[in-house]
Structure 1
Amino acid sequence: MLPSSFSSLLALVLLRGEPVLEPSRRAACEDVQRIELALAPTEVAREICVSPGLTTSLRFDAPAIVDLQDEVRFEEVVRGRRLLTLMPPPDMAEGERLRLTVRFEGDAPSSGITVMLVGHPGQATHQVAVYRDERTRESLRRELLQERARSAQLREALARAQALLDQSGGLRSLIASRVMGPDGVHAQRLQLKVSGPPEGGLSWASGTSYRADRSVAAEVWLRNSGPEPWKVAGGSLVDARGVEMKGVKFRQDEPIAPDQINQVIVEVDASTEQARGELTLTLWDAAGRTITLPKVTFP
């Protein structure tokens, strides 16, 4: 339930004809939408996704008269007896709602229906079919054919994704991507000596470093003695000359809970000549809690 003060404010805004901004509410954005007036009571809220820079077209099954709230703000509005094409205001905010009132020719002025255009940055319903009366058998048949074609496309995409998934993983991916060559992947245990109190509540537990043909990686296990969970947000890998390696990537499946030890994997593209000698690995989370691991070496 909305607080009574907010409900009163919302009602006042609607009476004044001002745009309503509801950032927390999001209509379902479909590429094609159908509104069947004969199947839904008039009090049911109808919403259409619109977005600045994207056109939305409404097609009516009978000649219609359309009224747009704040039409002067719209970037483009093209009217026909059965077709309305619009491009919403360029400054339309996410969640902003503008009324579109539709009255079919020959109906009483009080018989109009209201549809809300809801702002969704980057998302818009491109085609909307509005049916005044019950749909014809031909219209239903076309929709059925469209849904069958869409289902077939989804099945094909799913089959392709499954085929790729079946082929990926394990040594197959390493060989196919040429990350691992005839010499395989070399690994060594890291024997780091990190002195002093834990930085940001983090301390070194153990680790292993790896080298393949095109990259190096370090699997480090860290202990979190702080009061909050820790998850890597960034880091750096710097060689003995002070040169920082570019394109460092991270993987951490779950945060390190307080008083727990867990794994963080660091990887960077490197040729066989790169990442040699002793490097310094620094990791930090979004709150700035940092750990620095000196003298990290790769095979």
Structure 2
Amino acid sequence: MHPLVWPGVAAVLKLPLSVLLLAALPSRAATVSPLPPIECGAELQNVELEVGSSPLLVCVAPEVATYLRFDTPILVERTVLEGGEVSVTPSPTGVMLEATRGLAVGERRRLTIYFADGREPGSATFILVGQSMGKLRQVNVFRRERSPASLRQDADEQRQRAERCERQLAQGRGQAGPTELLERLLKLGATSGISLRWREAKPPVGQQGDVRVLNLSTTHVEVEEEQRAAAVRLRLRNVGTETWTPEGASLAAGEDQAPGNIRVLPDVSLPAGVVRKIDLIVGPTQQKLTGTYTLKLWGGGHELTLENITFQ
């Protein structure tokens, strides 16, 4: 992958996607209430675009340019900005952006571009976030192209896998215990055809240390009377400079210890700068999973403490 560089911009930095300024956001209207400013990150960033990619956050500021540079030609005439207060100058290989003084700090605008080759993904969407001041920035967008035929083939294969998994789960549901069933559902995800009910919780505020919790949710299953298992799903970011590996976890309610064993899935490390999802499976247990728990997750000299964990 060759870097794409505008004149006057520093040499390319190879950064992982998770530490880039660009982050997933749900679709929003063109003009919304101002939100807090975001961290703009490095002045030169690389990101891969693929089918299903979410809109991406990009900082814009007055009197300083932000460049979006593409490795595939775009349709200049189809560049669409929803709302105003941002100057947009498209070319076949990129877009130059500059906010006006009328764009409040934290205010967002939606920009959509379309590619010219007819392959997928056919477009890319960016959420432009107003900043009071900034530096010259460039975002290199590298597109992972797919043909319509390959997308249809993938969809057929996913449907077939889902059907096989659903048959296998139906056959094993009467034999598997709650922990085995829950672990199987977590590994299969959406392809299992069975939806777990997740309870969202707020991550702790004012987090310190190298490992930060971005999202937190819980779920549980009950195969039969007095047979239960639960899971805590964490989305973690390693903001440090070294790889972090979870080594153990505990769950307690007051002075009482965990209702069963706790295992971390998958058994992987979290490299520096990376965002990764992990699941912690609790059980099996005969206890009713009521009340509030404190979860601790540790490894490599770091420990996370998460309070007010519930499963109902």
Range into which the TM-score falls when normalised by the shorter chain: 0.3 to 0.5
Higher helix share: 1
TM-score (structure 1 length as normaliser)? 0.38
TM-score (structure 2 length as normaliser)? 0.36
Which structure has the larger Rg? 1
